[in-house]
Structure formats: C-alpha cells, structure tokens
Amino acid sequence: MDKAPQLIQERSAPPATLVIFGASGDLTRRKLIPAVASLARHHRLPREFALVGVARTAMSDEQFADSAINGRGLRDHPQLDGGIRYVSGGYDDPDTYKRLAETLDSLDAERGTAGNRLFYLSTPAEAFEPVINGLAGAGLNHARPGSFARLVIEKPYGRDLATARELDAIVHSSFDEPQVFRIDHYLGKDTVQNVLALRFANSIFQPIWDRSWVDHVQITVAETLGVGTRGGFYESAGAMRDIVQNHVLQVLALALMEPPASFDAEGLRNEKVKLLQAIRLPTDRDIADLAVRGQYTRGGTRDDLMPGYRDEPGVDPLSRTETYAAMRLNVDNWRWAGVPFYVRTGKRLPARVTEVALQFQRPPHLPIPTDQLTELDADALILRIQPDEGISLRFGAKVPGHSFRVRTASMDFSYDKTFREESPEAYERLLLDALLGDPTLFIRTDEVEQCWRIVDPIIEHWAKDHSPIPTYEAASWGPTDADRLIGRSGRKWRNPGGDA
C-alpha cells in the first residue's frame, strides 16, 4: 500500500459563502449537499463558511437546514453550525436578490465570510438568465476589493452552438470569464484526471499513443438506469446533449490531446480545444454512416422487467428522443489521422461502465499457426473510469502446457487495491476548486463551442429525419445499427461487464 506523500499541501477553502440556486432541487440534494458535508467532514471548510439556499419553494432557514443538511450528518460540523440560510423567492423577482444581498452582508458580519461569494446555478437551464440578471441587478456580480464573486454553471450550457453563444453573451454582460466556472462533473472524477497522470507522468505510454500503434479507440459511457424521474428534462435533451456533448467529448479530449507544457488552467484547456478543433465534422451525407441513435423499449428479465422509455413518467408516449447515441469520429492531425474513434452512451444498457479502450494494431507478422491463436484478442489498454476504477493492459500470453498456444491475458491496476486514500466525489473536488478559484477542471467558453460544433450537425440531422427511431430492448447493448456502425470497418464493440 502506498502512503500519502506528506509534502502534498492540503487544500482548504478560504472564508466564503456558497449560494445554491435551485436549493430544493434534485442535484442539490443528491450531489451538492453531500459534497459540502464531505468537505466539512474532511476539514476543508473554514469556520468562516456559510451556505445559502435559494429557491422558489417557501421554507425557513431551519427547515432548509433540517431537510438538506441535518439529514446528511452535518449538524455536528462547527463549520456550518448557525451558518445556513435560506432565501425563498422567484428568480425573476428583484426582491429575491435584495434579500439575498442582505443575507450575505449579515453573514459577512456575523461569520467573517469576507465578502467572498460562490454562486452555484443548479436550476433548470431556463432560470440561468433571470438569476444572472438578478444577481447583476443587486450588484452581486461585483466583489468588493480583495474578495471574489464567482459563478458556477451546471450543464446544459445551451441547447446548441447558437443558444450557448446567447447564454455566454448573458453571462459576460455581468461576469468576466475568469469569474465563470462551467462545470462538467466528469472532470472532477479522479479516474478522469488519471488519464492525464497515465499519459504525462510516465514515459512508456507516450510513444505508443498515436496512429502507428493504435488501431482504434472506443469510449463508452454506459448506464443501467433509465431516465427515472427526469423524463421531463430528458425529453428535451436526449443522450447526445446529456452525455456526448459534455462528458464523452471531455474524456476524449483528455485522452487524445497533445501534452500540455504545464497543467495550469490555460495550458491544459488550450490543448483540449486544439484537439476538439481537429475533429472532422460529418456532412449531412455521411451522418447516417457515422452516427446512430436508439431508444430503449421494455426489456430485462421476467423478475426484473423494465419499462420502455415511452412509458417512463414525463415522457411523450410517441417520443423520438434518443436514449442511446454512438458515433465514429476522425481527428485530423498528425497524431491521429486515419484512426477511428468510436464513442457511445446509453441508458438501460446491461452494465454501468465508463471506459476508454485503446486497441492496438495486430503484430505485422505472426510466427504462430493461426489455429493456436483462437482466443487471442488484439492488445488493448483499458482505462476504467468507473466503476471498478483502474487500468487493464490486455495482451497475449502462452497457455501453460506442452503445446504453444497463445491466449489473451490481462494485467490490472485497481485503485481500491493500490491506494488507501479514498477518492473524493467529483462534486466535492470541483466545489473546492471553485472556492479556491482554480478553473483547470472547468470548461472554458471556447471548449463549449467546439463541443456543440461537433454534435450540432448530428442532432439537426436527426431532427429532420422522420423515419422511426431505432430501438433496443432495455438491458441490451443498444440498437443493431450500432453494431453495423463499427462493423463497417470490420471492428466490434467491447461489451465490458456484459455479454462479452
């Protein structure tokens, strides 16, 4: 077991007030409050810290503290004792922001939160504009000298390139870019950051990380869950906007970009943008060959029968929203020219797994009779983002015995078995970064635009296509079109943890 290096500086938040808009919402309850609780538990919050919830639902400070906080075991944390407030009001009502400003001033005076404010927009996207305008109307977009006012914005950041630009114009009319932290929680996952460690803290991988060694790459974000209670939201998003535009393309950018000179925010984000810019856009003519969508229907087993997407609450019974998307991408640069990148995501697939798998080329010549190689797959390096976090290297090895048979074997690194330290939750890491003012793991405005540039033509093409949406049974690996997509080049999907 490795011991934590003693020299690594512990990171703790400065005095500040975290203001969560959408305080009575699902994300706040499931992710943000537990993240605050965990930061408090790990002593990452100073005594001069306060939390303010803002939402339309009427609630008292005590009720908010009780429902959100005490249930999460925060009661015993002195950092939060007495430092929780709630402001109820409409997002487009200037009075809400007036009362918020008074609350923030009184917290500064009582708790020493030093005028530092982190505004977290965890509302439905329609509320972003009124909240930003409301904050600006009350002067809360400007911090007093020596303090900070920052804005964290949840996805979806627009519905396409045009609306993302409109949102940016609204954001930038009141906040400067360095104040803006666009969140993609995948970047807060340790295993996603480990893509950087693997690639750039080692010398052995860099030489094989290119077109001369890599045959193709598969990036999978598979979920077993359906849309649950989020049908209403999901209907207007779909898999492409919900997962591909952000999580998949972020992981892809980190896995394929050039080495940055340093891991500072701009160095890293510049390289991601350059990579995203090098992704070739599909034309309307080749989209059918390069992108596939699907929607889950009823499936599973007799004991565990899952409803189809159209039967989920909040979903149109004739919905054409995709719950599965797969694409073949090409990156037009020296490192990757000619290498296909297959990405896919879906709800109600047979396994929950996120991974990046680099499959290497077959040896140029095999001095072994082919009948002795039947169980030999191509070499592969698999970065297991979640669950079962780790890395596997798959290669051929001689099967013990008198004959010379070769079969696939694998070397595995597991986070669990190697490190004693626990991974912080993604939201915990990112909240702390935002409180510290470190934008490295947040999305810059030009990255958002590049990502929309890539998915927009496909979403538009699908919107115009009135043929029936391909379907797949719940608990299967997606529509058969997806097998054809990858099969066209003679390759096939890895189906990790599932049927293969």
Active-site residues: which are they? 247
In the bound state with ligand BG6, the residue whose beta carbon lies nearer, of 223 and 271, is 223
Min. distance of Cβ 483 from ligand BG6 in angstroms? Answer: 24
In the bound state with ligand BG6, the residue whose beta carbon lies nearer, of 126 and 303, is 126
Residue pair 420/1 in contact by the 8 Å Cβ criterion: yes
Binding to ligand BG6 by residue 154, rule CB under 6 A? no
Residue 35 token pair: 């993240």
Q: Residue 14: which of 146, 114, 142, 141 has the closest Cα?
A: 114
Return the residues of window 171-230 that contact ligand BG6 according to CB under 6 A.
223
Q: CB-hemisphere CA count at 13 Å for 247?
A: 23
Q: Residue 161: which of 461, 446, 456 has the closest Cα?
A: 456
Beta strands in 331-481 (DSSP E): 340-346, 353-360, 380-386, 390-398, 406-414, 471-473
Backbone conformation region of residue 475, classed left if phi is above 0, alpha if psi is from -120 to 50, else beta? left
Residue pair 485/329 in contact by the 8 Å Cβ criterion: no
In the bound state with ligand BG6, the residue whose beta carbon lies nearer, of 116 and 218, is 218
Instruction: Tell me which DSSP letter residue 177 carries.
Output: G
In the bound state with ligand BG6, the residue whose beta carbon lies nearer, of 242 and 449, is 242
Min. distance of Cβ 68 from ligand BG6 in angstroms? Answer: 20
Q: From residue 221 to residue 260, what is the string marking binding to ligand BG6 with x (rule CB under 6 A)? A: --x------------------x------------------
Question: Residues comprising the binding site?
Answer: 22-29, 56, 155, 185, 189, 223, 242, 347
Min. distance of Cβ 441 from ligand BG6 in angstroms? Answer: 14
| Helix (H), strand (E) at residue 128 | helix 128-137
Q: Residue 189: which of 455, 8, 389 has the closest Cα?
A: 389
Cβ–Cβ contacts within 10 Å for residue 200, how many? Answer: 13
Min. distance of Cβ 457 from ligand BG6 in angstroms? Answer: 22
Residue type, 198: L
Question: Residues comprising the binding site for substrate?
Answer: 185, 189, 223, 242, 347
In the bound state with ligand BG6, the residue whose beta carbon lies nearer, of 168 and 223, is 223
Residue 422 token pair: 């626990």
Min. distance of Cβ 109 from ligand BG6 in angstroms? Answer: 38
What b/e readout covers 51-68, taking b as 16+ CB neighbours within 10 angstroms? bbbbbeeebeeeebbebb
Cα(211)–Cα(190) distance, integer angstroms: 27
Residue type, 157: Y
In the bound state with ligand BG6, the residue whose beta carbon lies nearer, of 241 and 405, is 241
Number of residues in contact with ligand BG6 under rule CB under 6 A: 2
Question: Residues comprising the binding site for NADP(+)?
Answer: 22-29, 56, 155
Instruction: Tell me which DSSP letter residue 309 carries.
Output: G
Residue 245 token pair: 């535009």
Min. distance of Cβ 223 from ligand BG6 in angstroms? Answer: 6
Q: Which residue is nearest to ligand BG6 (CB)?
A: 242
Residues of this chain that bind ligand BG6 (CB under 6 A): 223, 242
